Amino acid sequence: MNLILASASPRRSAILTQLGIPFRIEPSHVAEDGNGRSPLDWPRLFAEEKAVDVSLSHPREFVLGFDTLVFLDGKPLGKPKDKHDALRMLSALSGRSHQVISGVAVARGGKIFSSGAEKTEVFFRSLDPSEIAEYIDSGEPMDKAGAYAIQGKGARFVESIQGCYYNVVGLPVTRTLKMLKNLEEIENG
């Protein structure tokens, strides 16, 4: 099965490689527009849009699309716009739990074959303002949803998780593997 990853995320590439799944990268450049939609649906819908976008250029190949967002009190925290925004996000997450929702979708020829979303609950310990500032100065939080990377230096903030660790990184492993297994069954008739 030819598989395309509609993402330039090095973390997603690393996870698929770790799992031994052959793929090639063709990032989607679709604009994420959540207007008129429930924010909790955004990860799945954006994953679908990304997969469909790339699949239109490669109609005979399956395309995997992903999108990950951090939610605090049901409100999405995207990637921080600047250091002040990262400080705001990390301060809000301090000593609290939040949800990380990753959407995943598979498309071929502009049609969605399968899609869904995975939710993981993440619990942050109480953070000292100086450690937040040090982390922001490292530059790591600036391109991460919720302003932290659980697989990086941001791991020190995490007290515990309930759910899939890899989902927090951006690729829900079990859900993705199930979807790919179903595709193999479709391909093999």
Q: What is the mean pLDDT of the chain?
A: 94
Q: Cα 105 vs. chain centroid, distance in angstroms?
A: 12
Catalytic-role residue among 33, 41, 53, 67: 67
Q: Which two tokens stand for residue 23?
A: 């793929």
Please choose, from the candidates 155, 131, 148, 139, the residue with its C-alpha nearest in 3D space to the C-alpha of residue 93. 148
Residue 186 has pLDDT above 80, yes or no: no
Q: Which two tokens stand for residue 173?
A: 């492993």
What is the DSSP secondary structure assignment for residue 142, as one 8-state letter?
A: G
Q: Which two tokens stand for residue 116?
A: 């869904």
What is the DSSP secondary structure assignment for residue 175, as one 8-state letter?
A: H
For residue range 96-119, list pLDDT tens digits in order. 999 999 999 999 999 999 999 999
Paired sense of beta strands 24-25 and 3-5, if any: parallel
| Global pTM value | 0.92
Predicted confidence band of residue 79 (pLDDT cuts 50, 70, 90): very high
3 state SS of 112: strand
What is the b/e burial string over 19-35, where b = at least 16 CB atoms within 10 angstroms of the residue's CB?
eeeebeebebebeeeee
The pLDDT score that the predictor gives to residue 36 is 79
Q: Cα 36 vs. chain centroid, distance in angstroms?
A: 21
- Provide the CATH number for the domain around residue 108: 3.90.950.10
Query: If residue 119 lies in a helix (H) or strand (E), which one and from where to where?
Result: strand 111-124
Dihedral sign for Cα 119, 143, 105, 176, please: negative
Report in angstroms the alpha-carbon separations of 87 from 78, 151, 159.
13, 19, 19
**Mean pLDDT to the nearest integer, 68-94:** 96
Q: Per the structure, how many domains does the chain have? A: 1
Owning domain of residue 11: 3-187
Residue 86 has pLDDT above 90, yes or no: yes
Q: Is 67 a catalytic residue?
A: yes
Q: How far is Cα 17 from Cα 12, in angstroms, rounded to an integer?
A: 9
